[in-house]
C-alpha cells in the first residue's frame, strides 16, 4: 500500500508501543533485514580538517544516484505506486518494522538494510506524502527523541538538489552515532528576544548551521519556525541566494532547512542547516551544490548525513583512485570538506559573515 487507509491507520496507532531498540536491532540483524555482511564491505576512515575530523565512507552496497534522477522521482504523483519507504502491514507482521506515533499520526520505524552508521534507523509516515520542513516536521523530530533519546534524528531538506534521494515520502533518519557536526563548536552566539530560554549560536561548520539549545520543547519548536520563516523569505542577490522564482504565475521556492535533533537528559539540541537550491548558468546543478571540479569525488545531493560531516562516496572511487594510499585518503577527505563548503549559503569570509549577521538581525538581537 502507498497510502494509509482508515483501518490501517487506526490499527497502526493502536499498535504503537514503547520499543526496546536494542532487541529490535538485534532481531533485525538475526532476520537478515540489516545486511551486516554487505555493510562490512564498506570502507571508512577519518580525515582531520580545519572543520574537525571528517568521516569518509565508500559505500560498496548501493549505487550512485544522479541529482537529476532524484529530482524527477520527487515529482512522482501516483498514489497507488509503492515507493521504497511505503509501509505495509506485512512489514509489521514480519517484524521488519514497528509502529510508532509522531505528531499523533501513525508512523513506522525500521533499520536501514544498508546502514550508513551504527543503528541507522528510518521513521516513515504510513501515508505516502512528500517530504516537508515545517512546524509539523519539528514536532515530529521532538516526538521521536522524547521516545528514543538514545538516538539522534533528522530530516533531509524537502527540495531537489539540497534534499535527499527520496523526496516523495515523508520520513526521518536517525541512529546511535556521533557525527562531526555534533562536536563542532559555536563560533558566536545570538539572542532571540521572544525566546529568552533558548541558547542560539552560529556553528563553526562549512555549511551555514544555526544551533538551538533549550529544555523548553515548545520554545525550541517556535524558535525553529521563526528561523525557517525568515530563511524562506530571504534573498541576497549579491550572494546568489534567491528565495523564490517564477515559472509563469507559479512561484518556485528555493530556500529550506536541513534539521538535526538530539536530546541529552532534558536538553534538546537542534542544528538547522540553511539550504538554497537555486541554480545558475555557472552552476546548473546548483549554486550551493558540489561544484563541478569536485564531481570526481561527489556528484550526488548533499543530504542529511553528509551535512553532518559523514561522506557517503560512490564505489567507483575504488576503480578510479588508489584509496589504500594514506595521502590519497587525506586528499579525498579534504576535497569532501571543500564540497561541503560549496553548500554553505554564507561563506566564511568577511562579506559572507557580515551578510549572515544581517540575516540574523531580521529575527534576532545580538
Q: Is the pLDDT of residue 76 over 70?
A: no
Domains: count for the chain: 1
Mean pLDDT of 96-104: 97
pLDDT digits (tens, 9 = 90+) for 267-277: 999 999 999 99
pLDDT digits (tens, 9 = 90+) for 229-271: 999 999 999 999 999 999 999 999 999 999 999 999 999 999 9
Residue 8 banded pLDDT, cuts 50, 70, 90: low
Provide the pLDDT for residue 107.
Answer: 98
pTM for the model stands at 0.91
Q: Is residue 11 part of a domain?
A: yes
Q: Is residue 248 part of a domain?
A: yes
- CATH code of 180's domain: 3.30.428
Provide the pLDDT for residue 69.
Answer: 54
Mean pLDDT of 85-106: 96
Mean pLDDT of 328-351: 97
Identify the weakest region by mean pLDDT among 55-64, 182-191, 337-346: 55-64
pLDDT digits (tens, 9 = 90+) for 22-54: 999 999 999 999 999 989 999 999 999 999 999
Provide the pLDDT for residue 14.
Answer: 57
State what percent of residues in the chain have pLDDT above 90.
81
Q: Is residue 1 part of a domain?
A: no
Residue 59 banded pLDDT, cuts 50, 70, 90: confident
Provide the pLDDT for residue 1.
Answer: 38
Residue 200 banded pLDDT, cuts 50, 70, 90: very high
Q: Is residue 58 part of a domain?
A: yes
Q: Is residue 195 part of a domain?
A: yes
Mean pLDDT of 101-128: 96
Q: Is residue 365 part of a domain?
A: no
pLDDT digits (tens, 9 = 90+) for 142-199: 999 999 999 999 999 999 999 887 899 999 999 999 999 999 999 999 999 999 999 9
Q: Is the pLDDT of residue 278 over 90?
A: yes
Q: Is residue 366 part of a domain?
A: no
3-state secondary structure the chain: CCCCCHHHHHHHHHHCCCCCHHHHHHHHHHCCCCCHHHHHCCEEEEEEECCEEEEEEECCCCCCCCHHHHHHHHCCCCCCCCCCCCCCHHHHHHCCCEEEEECCEEEEEEECCCCCCCCCEEEEECCCCCCCCCHHHHHHHHHHHHHCCCCEEECCECCCCCECCCCCCCEEEEECCCCHHHHCCEEEEEECCCCCCCEEEEECCCCCEEEEEECCHHHHHHHHHHHHHHHHCCCEHHHCECCEEEECCEEEECEEEEEEEEEECCEEEEEEEEEECCCCCCCCCCCCCCCHHHCCCCCCCCCHHHHCCEEEECCHHHHHCCCCCHHHHHHHHHHHHHHHHHCCCCCCCHHHHHHHHHHHCCCCEC
Strands 186-190 and 199-203: antiparallel
Provide the pLDDT for residue 365.
Answer: 63
Residue 66 banded pLDDT, cuts 50, 70, 90: low
Give the CA diameter of the chain. Answer: 58
Q: Is the pLDDT of residue 60 over 90?
A: no
Domain of 320, in residue numbers: 6-360
Q: Is residue 156 part of a domain?
A: yes
Mean pLDDT of 105-124: 96
Amino acid at each position: 500500500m502507498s497510502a494509509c487507509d482508515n483501518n490501517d491507520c487506526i490499527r497502526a496507532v493502536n499498535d504503537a508501543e514503547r520499543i526496546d531498540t536494542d532487541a529490535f536491532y538485534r532481531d533485525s540483524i538475526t532476520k537478515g533485514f540489516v545486511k551486516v555482511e554487505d555493510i562490512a564491505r564498506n570502507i571508512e576512515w577519518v580525515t582531520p580538517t580545519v572543520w574537525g575530523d571528517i568521516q569518509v565512507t565508500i559505500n560498496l552496497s548501493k549505487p550512485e544516484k544522479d541529482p537529476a534522477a532524484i529530482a524527477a522521482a520527487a515529482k512522482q504523483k501516483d498514489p497507488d505506486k509503492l515507493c521504497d519507504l511505503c509501509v505495509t502491514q506485512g512489514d509489521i507482521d514480519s517484524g521488519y518494522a514497528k509502529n510508532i506515533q509522531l505528531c499523533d499520526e501513525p508512523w513506522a520505524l525500521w533499520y536501514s538494510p544498508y546502514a550508513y552508521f551504527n543503528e541507522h534507523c528510518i521513521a516513515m509516515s504510513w501515508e505516502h506524502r512528500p517530504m516537508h520542513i515545517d512546524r509539523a516536521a519539528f514536532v515530529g523530530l521532538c516526538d521521536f527523541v522524547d521516545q528514543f533519546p538514545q538516538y539522534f534524528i533528522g530530516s533531509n531538506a524537502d527540495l531537489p538538489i539540497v534534499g535527499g534521494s527520496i523526496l516523495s515520502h515523508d520520513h526521518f533518519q536517525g541512529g546511535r552515532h556521533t557525527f562531526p557536526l555534533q562536536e563542532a563548536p559555536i563560533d558566536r552566539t545570538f539572542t532571540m528576544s521572544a525566546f529568552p530560554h533558548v541558547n542560539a549560536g552560529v556553528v563553526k561548520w562549512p555549511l551555514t548551521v544555526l544551533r538551538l539549545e533549550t529544555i523548553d520543547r515548545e520554545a525550541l519548536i517556535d524558535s525553529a519556525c521563526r528561523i525557517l520563516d525568515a530563511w524562506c523569505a530571504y534573498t541576497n542577490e549579491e550572494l546568489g541566494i534567491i528565495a523564490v522564482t517564477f515559472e509563469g504565475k507559479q512561484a518556485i521556492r528555493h530556500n529550506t532547512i536541513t534539521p538535526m535533533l538530539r536530546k541529552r537528559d532534558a536538553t534538546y539540541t537542534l542544528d538547522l542547516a540553511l539550504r538554497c537550491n537555486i541554480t545558475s548558468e555557472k552552476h546548473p546543478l546548483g549554486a550551493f551544490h558540489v561544484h563541478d571540479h569536485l564531481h570526481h569525488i561527489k556528484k550526488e545531493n548533499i543530504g542529511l548525513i553528509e551535512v553532518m560531516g559523514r561522506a557517503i562516496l560512490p564505489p567507483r572511487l575504488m576503480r578510479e583512485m588508489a584509496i589504500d594510499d594514506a595521502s590519497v585518503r587525506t586528499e579525498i577527505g579534504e576535497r569532501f570538506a571543500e564540497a561541503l563548503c560549496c553548500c554553505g549559503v554564507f561563506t566564511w569570509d568577511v562579506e559572507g559573515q557580515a551578510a549572515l549577521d544581517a540575516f540574523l538581525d531580521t529575527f534576532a538581537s545580538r
